[in-house]
Structure 1
Amino acid sequence: MKKYIIKLNNKVYEVEMEEVTEETAVSQTNKIAAGGNNTPSNSTSQNNSAISAKGEVIEAPMPGTILNVAVNPGQAVKKGDLLVILEAMKMENEIVSPVDGTITNVNVTKGQTVNPGDTLVVIA
């Protein structure tokens, strides 16, 4: 866990960030599948996803407003492709695909307000 101090508009913010690797993502997925606690930590990431029977579920990592939806159902995406732009705290956050696949469901529209954990997109 790394700590950063950010000064923005004369306000000081202390931010803790944890590096997410494939190994920790697999560990979290196995923990969830085993019925473990799925409570998010205080760290913020650009992409929060879970695997379900219907595919890779991309969830909102924080509350905000959808500024743009860059994909449509049936569209093929590669790992790292832009899915959605989420505005939170006056910052634009790019939500990108964690995997290669095909968009099976888009659950949000431009201008929609979302909460943490809301499903944005499903990738098969």
Structure 2
Amino acid sequence: MKKYNIKVNGTTYEVEVEEVGAAVTPTVTPIVRPAPAEPAAKPPTTVKKEVPAAAPITAGAQSVTAPMPGTVLDVKVTAGQPIKAGDILIILEAMKMENEILAPADGTIDTVQISKGASVNANDILVTIK
């Protein structure tokens, strides 16, 4: 008799095969293995940062929004600062990548709605330009 382990659809079977002349008679015995113990679940740890209250948006100001959820790594502008189209406003980390949020047009920064370290969702207002 020869013993073989055969895996079928994730289940392992121990098979004994006896060779008798030209005929083969297999015996199949399922091997039952206990499921691996799952580690104790740890509660998620989150750090909430204080986000300053959003400044009121001036009528006619253009909003620059977050294109995706992420964390603000750096704020490159301040309220009242003149900017040109294409200037870097915010560095946003999303999916382990740093994304530069650029000014869509020339103008002056009206309000900065977020701060460094803040978490933002897609379409959250980051800054306004007038």
- TM-score band, normalised by the shorter chain? 0.5 to 0.7
| TM-score, structure 1 normalization | 0.57
- Whole-Å Cα distance in 2 between the matches of residues 85 and 102 of structure 1? 19
- The answer to whether structure 1 residue 95 and structure 2 residue 101 are counterparts is yes
CA separation in 1, counterparts of 2:86 and 2:77? Answer: 13
Unaligned ranges ≥5, structure 2: 1-57
Instruction: Flag the structure with larger Rg.
Output: 2
Q: Deviations over 1:64-117 (max 9, x none)?
A: 000000000000000000000000000000000010000000001000000001
Over the aligned positions, Cα root-mean-square deviation in angstroms equals 1.2
Q: TM-score, normalised by structure 2?
A: 0.55
Q: Deviations for 1:29-63, whole angstroms, at most 9, x for unmatched residues?
A: xxxxxxxxxxxxxxxxxxxxxxx943110000000
Instruction: Give distance in 2, aligned partners of 1:101 and 1:123.
Output: 6
Is 1:64 the counterpart of 2:80? The answer is: no
Query: Which segments of 5 or more consecutive residues in structure 1 lack a partner in the other structure?
Result: 1-51
Pairs aligned (count): 73
Q: Do residues 76 (structure 1) and 82 (structure 2) align?
A: yes
Task: Determine if the alignment matches structure 1 residue 105 to structure 2 residue 117.
Answer: no
The structure whose residues are more often helix, as a share, is: 1
Cα displacement (A) at 1:120:
0.1
